[in-house]
A = this chain, B = another copy of it.
Amino acid sequence: MSSTRDIDALIDLMARLPGLGPRSARRAVLHLIRKRALLLTPLADMMQTVAATARECINCGNVGTADICDICTSEKRANGEICVVEDVADLWAMERSGVFKGRYHVLGGTLSALDAIGPQELRIPRLLDRVRDEAVSEVILALNATIDGQTTAHYIADQLEGQVRLTSLAQGVPIGGELDYLDDGTITAAMRARKSI
């Protein structure tokens, strides 16, 4: 099928997206071809736009369309709190909850001896600079409850000890979570942090 070369190339590119294997990439491409005007062309145009404009904030690592992101430039967000997250996806999750009114610092991963990821790879030096240079009163370590996430949190806590208030997210049973589906670690943490009602 030589003249379907471009279609095959599109399938190969789509299959490199996280969560899409070869089979779902083929289904996605057929769907795109059927919805050419409504989906394929708008998607191609928007990808071109984002490719031309998207960049990482040089201050916090958030993704936006300027060198300094909206959150870092907003004076409203300068409340002295910095929430440290592993990934931009975690920042987005926080923003959807609307609970946090301060600024962020996106590490871009976790420390990992196995993958040779040290503090320099993780935007940690920039975090230490920010705590020194901005008027920061509290650093919230909102890292994932994994071994690497907690190792990273401990490392940052060591670096910042005595300079700023350090907190982490409470651990416990998620809203709507059924005990039967939770791992032992979560149940243990929830039990130890139990509160009077």
Which residues of A from 1 to 57 have beta carbons under 8 Å from B?
1-4, 6-7, 9-10, 13-14, 16-20, 24, 26-33, 36, 39-44, 46-51, 53-54
A71: Cβ under 8 A from any B Cβ: yes
Nearest Cβ on chain B to A24's Cβ, whole angstroms: 4
Residue A95 lies at the interface, judged by CB distance under 8 Å to chain B: yes
Measured CB to CB, the closest approach of chain B to A30, in angstroms, equals 6
The answer to whether residues A10 and B63 also contact, given A19-B27, A88-B30 and a CB cut-off of 8 A, is no
**Counting CB contacts under 8 A, is A87 at the interface?**
yes
Contacts A50-B10, A51-B40, A89-B26 known; A63 to B33 CB distance under 8 Å?
Answer: yes
A172 interfacial by beta-carbon distance below 8 Å: no
Contact of A64 with B by CB under 8 A: yes
- Chain B positions within 8 Å of A42 at CB level: 13
CB neighbours (8 Å) of A47 from chain B are 10, 32, 40-41, 43-44, 47
Q: Is A92 an interface residue (CB 8 A)?
A: yes
Q: State which size class the interface on A falls in.
A: 35 or more
- Residue of B32, B49, B95 touching A6 (CB-CB under 8 A): B49
- Report the copy number of this chain in the oligomer: 2
CB distance from A18 to the nearest CB of B (A): 5
Other A-B pairs beyond A19-B19, A41-B48, 19, CB < 8 Å: A1-B70, A1-B71, A3-B65, A3-B70, A4-B64, A6-B46, A6-B49, A6-B54, A7-B63, A9-B46, A10-B49, A10-B50, A17-B39, A18-B28, A19-B24, A30-B87, A36-B51, A40-B47, A48-B48
List 25 interface pairs A-B (beta carbons < 8 Å), by A numbering: A2-B70, A4-B63, A4-B64, A6-B53, A6-B54, A6-B65, A7-B50, A7-B54, A10-B46, A13-B43, A17-B28, A17-B31, A18-B28, A19-B27, A20-B20, A20-B28, A27-B89, A29-B50, A30-B89, A36-B54, A40-B50, A40-B51, A41-B47, A41-B48, A43-B47
